Each structure stands twice: as structure tokens, then as C-alpha cells.
Chain A
């Protein structure tokens, strides 16, 4: 999960490493994702979002499609 200066730099990096280009996320989207994900992290009853909650969080920010689908991300 990395920062890039521009889409061109992302494409160069993917090509250099033979990685697929994934959906690009703006800093505004990333901030909104962070506020949803981590706002309560230092509170006693906090927990990591479950897959169904993750899906709702991503969708609310416009992060949709199979890449953002946590369907198989099961944990205790």
C-alpha cells in the first residue's frame, strides 16, 4: 500500500515490476477511509471491521468491484 506522485508513476512502477495496475485511490478517499477505519482504534471496544462492514465502507467511498471485495477474508 504505497504513495505515488501521479498515475504515470504508478504505471511505470507496475510495468517495471510486472505488476497489474489496480484501482487508484485519491488522497481524499484515503483520508475518508482512514477516518472510518481507525477513528476508534484506541478505544477499549474497538475492533477491525468485519468483511461485510468492510464492503459497506469501501462502497460508501466509491471503492467498488472485485478488487475491493473482502468476501473470502474470514477471520476470528
Chain B
């Protein structure tokens, strides 16, 4: 595994095991690398759209489907609370983990709470809808807004 892949896997495993974004030192510990080498890898992983970094270049804002900051899309799996970047990613977390989940979110217009149970076959029938404002070709122009 090359160094970038080691960093990527360390980031994702940390998110999966804790629900929180790792610091560069935590990534370094998991990957068996120096924190400086981890920080060198972060921009390359950002360019591959594997990570979205904070303004400091060291904090992890997103490792899709995981969010590094609290959001309105909360996913509970096996006693761990995760934050998803968006409605789509809230379903992506149980998929990535291969686990059943409880999703709590809301209707963006009315504020009505949404609860979805994700079983082995996914969610049951639901009348709720997903709406994406930004066309696919422009998602990464401003991925946080998207």
C-alpha cells in the first residue's frame, strides 16, 4: 500500500471506529508515518476528492460519507454517533460500514423530524424525498454548500 493509501485508510478507519475526525498525529500513529508526511499527503487526497480539509490544511472537514463537524444528519450505528455531510451521505454511512443504523434528520422546509431505520436491506418504504440544488457537474465547485 502506498503512503497516500495508508493515510486514507487510517483516516477512514478512525472515523469508522470513533465517529470523529482524526488529528494528523492520530493518522500518523495508525499509518506508521510521521505527522509531516501525513500533512504532505492530505492535499493529494483532497485533489482525489477523498478528503475535504479545513482552512488550516490539517483538520478534516469531510471524508465522505463522514463529516468532521456536527451536522443535522445524525447516524447511530452500534453505539457510535456519526455525522453525515448531507442526506445522501447519511445513507452512505451504514452502507460503508455494512451495518444496520438509525438515521435522524429533518425536513429542511418544515423542520419535521425524520427517522429512518436502516435494516439489512436498507430503509423501508418512505414518502420522504431527497432534493439536490446543485447540478452534478458543479458539486465540487463548493462541496460544503452542495
**How distant is the Cα of A73 from the Cα of B13 in the complex, in angstroms?**
28
Give the residue of A2, A25, A39, A67 whose beta carbon is less than 8 angstroms from that of B86: A2
Choose among B1, B122, B129, B133 the residue with the greatest number of A CB atoms under 10 Å from its CB.
B129
Contact B130 A27 (CB under 8 A): yes
Choose among B65, B91, B130, B135 the residue with the greatest number of A CB atoms under 10 Å from its CB.
B130
Known contacts: A4-B109, A5-B128, A9-B107. The answer to whether A37 contacts B92 by CB under 8 A is yes
- Find chain A residues with CB under 8 A from B64 CB: 38, 41, 48
- Additional A-B contacts beyond A30-B91, A35-B95 (5; CB < 8 A): A2-B86, A5-B107, A27-B129, A41-B65, A48-B49
Q: Which residues of chain B have a CB within 8 Å of any CB of chain A?
A: 1, 5, 9, 12-13, 16, 47-50, 64-65, 85-89, 91-93, 95-97, 105-110, 112, 114, 116, 122-123, 125-133, 135-140, 146
Q: Which residues of chain A have a CB within 8 Å of any CB of chain B?
A: 1-7, 9-10, 12-13, 16, 19-20, 22, 24-31, 33-35, 37-39, 41-42, 44-45, 47-48, 54, 58, 66-73, 75-76
